[in-house]
Structure 1
Amino acid sequence: MLFVANVLELNGGTTFILRLARASHRQGRRIGVLVLFDIVNKDLAAQIAEYADIYYLKDFAPRVLRPMFRRQFGTFMPVSFGAIEALVEKYNGHLHAMGVFGLLFIKRYVASARRVKLVSIGIYHQNEIMFSGVDYYFARQVQLLFSTLPPSSLVFFNELTLASHSHFFAVDYYTANQVPIGIDLPEWRGRGVGNSASNRIVSIGSLEVFKTYNRHVIDLMPALRELRPGLIYEIYGGGSYEAELRQQVSLQGVEDIVHFKGAIDYSSFPKVLEGAFAFVGSGTAIIEAAALGVPSIVGIESIQDPVTYGLLSDIEGRSYNEFDARLALRPIAQVFSSLMDERQWAEASYACRTKAETFSIDETVNGFLLMESRSNDLQAFSALPYSNLMAFSSFLLCAIRDRMKKDVRFSSRRNQGSIA
């Protein structure tokens, strides 16, 4: 399969590619990765290149246009589809989109009458495709294209996103592919890297507005310090929300106990968690922390109150990031309080490790392989009218308005939360 990735920077999508490429390589298969935009973390790219073949879309474009691939504009630029067709054939005729721009690019490829056996798309964030209020041609086309794909083309990583997309698009997706988001399970040996006597609460991940748990923990730190003197909160990562979080730290007067540690290499994840008391987060980071035996508290996306479903081990199934009104909520402070007891901490550590085992990357690889054995009817997807010029023009207008802060609805779509 040939993954169509936006970038190879340090984020959940890129680290997922690394894990899946490594697991596929163990099974004797080498995947391909076509990177749309020239935004690359060289260290991560080098790690991926050990197990997968990496290609850059700019290399298939006229040299004079290559600067356009530094941003999303590259999606719409002229490229040699004949050369890309050779790549598609090399990877079993399977093109896998990882987001909006990947889907638009694949539509262009299919519209050029090039051969493809299977088109698929993964829902790596609940609001990547499922958003509202973005009235531009390219955005409307993305949702129309998605709705024309058969369930056999879709990859959902948890039950809630499958159900919400079925409701939002009024299509029965219950026969779609369901796989875990997938992590590499560390060697257990009966113990984890956490420490019940530690004073370190840790979060690792990009700092984005929808990850409201960072702010909640900052606000709770004065009260948590009363429960456990010496407690500190370490935040690893960077992003658009960092400035606002720093302001919140100043407002709460907790500069001495909340530490912004900056971005880390993906390979440093276990080292950073060595000796941690607890982890708070979402995405694959919380699964990886749980797999290391650190009690891991679920950070629900876009939730405005300091509440949680509890520990990752309290979750049934694989849905934990998104808000689900049917699930019971607990104050985050209450979960922290329960971990102050050494026995309960040890039980939580083991339970989180056990839960993480259900997210094995090997199961993810097997799910992708099974998908390639299914039939894939692309007739409706191919027949849907699409103008690349109109898509580019509408995206250009969107980008200008976004830059002027007049309309940020598309760039902030991931902050919409559960809308279905």
Structure 2
Amino acid sequence: MLIIYSALRMGGIETFFVRLARERYRQGLHTKVLLLANDNESDPELLAQMEDVADIYRFNDLFHQFPILKHRFKLFSPMKNNNVLRVLEGVTQVHVSNAENALLADRLINIANACIPITVGVYHSLEFSWGGKSLPHFENINRKFVLQHLPDANLMCFAESTKEFMQRKHSLPIKNAKVFRLGVVSGSTPTLLNDGASSSKVGYREQLKICTVGRLVEFKSYNLWMLDVVKELVDMGLPVVFDIYGEGPLSDEVYSKIQKLGIDNAVKMMGTFEYSKFNDVVREYDLFVGSGTAIIQASFCGVPSIIGIESIPEPVSYGFFSDFSEYEYHHPTLNFPKKSVVDIIANYYQLDVAHKHAIAKHHIKAAEMFSMAEVVRNFELPYLVSSKRFRYSKVSYYFSEKLFDIKHKLSGIRVDYTKTKFTDDT
């Protein structure tokens, strides 16, 4: 198996790929990874962990050194064909998380004249569903390739609601798309003891400690609205602290809002930590707020976790992860009522220790369905090879993409294909 990705930054997809490679290694399965960005863009610990269980290739291993083209135009930058053959040797599947890398995978396979299936994981339900009726040319090519050219059996949806949403959005059947839960947990189930000497210390503090962990990016809007939540809780007299672990393009905006609200005594930006310390760090908190794979891992630690619905500006949530784990819990359009996060936290604070422990145990149970071993089994299912060659103009593809980027930079809007601004149908 070959995974094509940009860089192993600290995030949900990246940590999943490391866990996937580790579990495959444990089962005696070989994994290769092609990283397209420079090593300094990867988290050193994640990169080291991946190197322990997989063969890693860099951009320069496959592409000739042409500074003008370089990383910007990987779909037609000159390639070292013999190296492409070596990388694809023994590969039974090429897996990607976005359309441009799927097109790159197609290019590699064509160079090698190989019959290798390309699988595409829908790690964010809006990855192929952002925008309205008028899309830029490059995105039309992306969707034509992924949703029409590739066999729909090669599409991986990590919740049934993701598949249903895409079917409604595109009026495409994709009936054969695989549906299985994203793997996060492995190892023995943690326990919660009534004397407090447990894997999670939930329920034993007078101060309510809350945290979030992940990249500070636009669609994780809860990093901003949680600041309003903390402000209101502090004004109510609740002894609450909120620690934010992570960095990203939203960092400056988060910091500015903390200062503006005057809550710097209650909210701290903690930066990043080594991924291997995730469990030890998160277990020191009473509550977790987040989405993606981080909320699953926090839940498995026995920390009650509030769903951070993505791409919405209001401080509302469906509730605790344990009650919605069967769905794509962070998607903004689930058919469930949204509750005030202030009320969820304030009500939790009033519960006795027994009730808090019951919620914690429910979270551990819910997280158990996200098994890494089961994910590897699903990745090893037979996938199909496209029977026809996909043809498109690479020049017009990149011309369209660069025009799209320039347009939004001039208008002062950060380009994020999963932002709310790109999801309306008008």
TM-score of the alignment, normalized to the shorter chain, above 0.5: yes
Partner of 1:335: 344
Q: Which moved more, 1:324-333 or 1:234-243?
A: 324-333
After superposition, residues 240-319 of structure 1 pair within 5 angstroms as: 240-315=249-324, 317-319=326-328
Tell me the number of residue pairs that the alignment of Structure 1 and Structure 2 aligns: 410
Please report how far the alpha carbon of residue 82 of structure 1 lies from its aligned counterpart in structure 2 after TM superposition: 4.2
| Structure 1 position 306, deviation (Å) | 1.5
Contact 1:212/1:304, CA 8 A, preserved across alignment: yes
Identity between Structure 1 and Structure 2 (%)? 26
- Aligned-residue offset at 1:359: 0.7
Give ranges in structure 1 of 5+ residues lacking alignment: none
The one-letter code of the counterpart of 1:412 is D
Residue 24 of structure 2 is aligned to residue 18 of structure 1:
no
Equivalent position of 1:106 in the other structure: 105
Residue of 410, 414, 418 corresponding to 1:414: 418
SS of the aligned residue for 1:385 comes to coil
For residue 129 of structure 1, what is the aligned residue in structure 2?
A: 128
1:53 corresponds in structure 2 to 55
Following TM superposition, by how much is the alpha carbon of 1:61 offset from its aligned partner in structure 2, in angstroms? Answer: 1.6
Cα deviation code 1:310-352 (max 9, x no counterpart): 1111115141011124112221122212322122211111101
SS of match in other structure, 1:63 = coil
State the partner residue of 1:154. Answer: 155
| Closer, same or farther: CA 314–389 of 1 in aligned 2, 3 Å | same
- What is the Cα deviation at residue 112 of structure 1? 4.2
1:366 corresponding residue in structure 2: 377
> Residue type of the partner of 2:326?
G
| Contact map agreement 2:45 2:275 (CA 8 A) in 1 | no
Tell me what 2:389 maps to.
383
Distance 1:214 1:101 in 2: 28
> Offset of 1:45 from its aligned partner?
1.1
| Structure-2 separation of matches of 1:109 and 1:175 | 25
TM-score, length-normalised on structure 1? Answer: 0.90
So what's the TM-score if we normalise by structure 2? 0.89
- Could you tell me which amino acid in structure 1 is paired with residue 26 of structure 2? R
The residue number in structure 1 matching 2:195 is none
Q: Does 1:354 align with 2:354?
A: no
Change (3 A) 1:324 1:244: same
Answer with 266-275 or 15-24: which moved more.
266-275
2:73 counterpart residue number? 73
Q: Distance in 2 between matches of 1:284 and 1:316?
A: 11
Contact 2:185 2:367 in 1 (8 A): no
Pick which of 227-236 and 114-123 moved more.
227-236
Maintained 8 Å contact 1:157/1:178: yes
Shift in Å at residue 184 of structure 1? 2.6
Asked whether 1:214 is paired with 2:226, we answer: no
- 2:190–2:302 Cα contact (<8 Å) kept: no
- Partners of 1:352 and 1:55 in 2: how far apart? 38
Query: Counterpart in 1 of 2:186?
Result: 185
Distance in 1 (alpha carbons) for counterparts of 2:404 and 2:137:
10
User: Deviation at 1:201?
Assistant: 0.4
d(CA) in 2 for partners of 1:228, 1:358: 38
Structure 1 residue 185, shift from structure 2 partner: 3.3
Say if 1:180 and 1:318, in contact at 8 Å, map to a contact too.
Answer: no
Letter in 1 for 2:202: N
Q: Please report how far the alpha carbon of residue 419 of structure 1 lies from its aligned counterpart in structure 2 after TM superposition.
A: 5.6
**Deviations along 1:49-74, whole A, 9 cap, x unmatched?**
111111113221223449823xx433
Deviation at 1:414, TM superposition (A): 1.3
1:359 aligns to what SS in structure 2?
Answer: coil
CA RMSD of aligned residues (A): 2.3
- Alpha-carbon deviations, 1:12-67, whole Å to 9, x = none? 22111100011111111121111122232232111111111111132212234498
Distance 1:142 1:26, change over 3 A: same
- Does 2:24 align with 1:32? no
